[in-house]
Amino acid sequence: MEITEVVKQSGVPASTLRYYEEKGLIKPVGRKGLKRVFSNDVLQRLALIALGRATGFSLNEIAQMFGVDGQPRIQSEELLAKADELDKQIKRLTAMRNGLRHAAYCPAPSHMECPKFQRIVRVAGAGRMQPLRSEKLK
Amino acid sequence: MEITEVVKQSGVPASTLRYYEEKGLIKPVGRKGLKRVFSNDVLQRLALIALGRATGFSLNEIAQMFGVDGQPRIQSEELLAKADELDKQIKRLTAMRNGLRHAAYCPAPSHMECPKFQRIVRVAGAGRMQPLRSEKLK
DNA sequence: TCTTGACCTCAAGTCGACTTTAAGTAGTAA
DNA sequence: TTACTACTTAAAGTCGACTTGAGGTCAAGA
């Protein structure tokens, strides 16, 4: 497959494919002249990357978790730790979803005054109010 | 409360608080000289913002969903639509979590070759491989 | 042979979410 | 009065994830 075929089948723009290659997330099987040639495994790879991105992992994290060949490069311990993080995240999302559904119908003048809504926020946040960027320091 | 107190109780840096104010996400009740004075409602507000961010909403979306006073500014229909989005997101997260747990133990040489792992990726992605930035066009 | 189209590289630009920096002000303490 | 501390503003910088643009290459068709 040449790059355009990958673009068509995946919906991922060529510029992004080149960028992902640069970051070591995908790898063409070869070249035909200048042109990159991909095997169709790349589509699964892209699905995996998209899934990772959609679940909040950075490209670097994804690259770490699954090497170019799909083999994890980090310890199973760390993979399991990531999985646990996701569990927490799932709880937050569930709380937020419930909060939104509630807010759609709650008659309270301001939601911050509604005890149910307050509880949802409290349960979900549970002390973590830091903005996301602050997590860069590691 | 002055800003430092908010920083202490919330963990959110002063620079971020000022930035949030600029974006219309929070609002001091007044000033004492130059200094901002906040009511302690701001802490709940920050929890709400953090929850929103953690669940993947942008600051603009959060500002849209809940005005400065916590009253939703958008229709319940839209709130419910957001809730449905969250449901999908929860499914993706769950899939990713399962994938990671599986990857931690699966003996297959490459995960992309493991049928179980493949199914997880397929179920979760379901055609959506577009990078996140592409969604800016709306 | 010349042009076209599909691809290439490398550098620079953009966008959101902040952070950093430089320079200023208001209240308090010595 | 001076110095210090806790804040302020406005502008510029940073970081990740891409996108855009300028200019180059190569195979195929007129």
Q: What is the pLDDT of residue B126?
A: 58
Nucleotide C21 C1' to residue B89 CA (A): 39
Residues B79-101 have a mean pLDDT of 90
Please count the residues of chain A: 138
B33: the nucleotide nearest its CA (via C1') is: C26
Q: What is the pLDDT of residue B56?
A: 82
Q: What is the pLDDT of residue A6?
A: 96
Q: In which band, very low, low, confident or very high, does the pLDDT at A24 lie, cut at 50, 70 and 90?
A: very high
Chain B residues in contact with A39 by the CB 8 A cut-off are none
Instruction: Select from A46, A80, A109 the Cβ nearest to the Cβ of B129.
Output: A46
- Across the interface, whether the CB atoms of A95 and B51 are under 8 A apart is answered yes
Q: What is the pLDDT of residue B25?
A: 94
Measured between alpha carbons, how far is B128 from A130 in angstroms, rounded to an integer? 30
Q: What is the pLDDT of residue B43?
A: 92
Report which of residues A110 and B40 the model is more confident about.
B40
| Cβ-proximal residues to A127 (8 Å cutoff; 6+ apart), any chain | none
Q: Distance (Å) from the C-alpha of residue A89 to the closest C-alpha of chain B?
A: 8
List, in sequence order, the alpha helices (H) in chain B: 3-10, 14-22, 41-54, 59-65, 76-105, 115-125
pLDDT digits (tens, 9 = 90+) for A49-100: 999 998 889 999 999 888 777 677 777 888 899 999 899 889 888 988 988 8
pTM: 0.85
pLDDT at B31 over 80: yes
Tokens 């999908």 identify what position? B88
Residues A6-16 have a mean pLDDT of 95
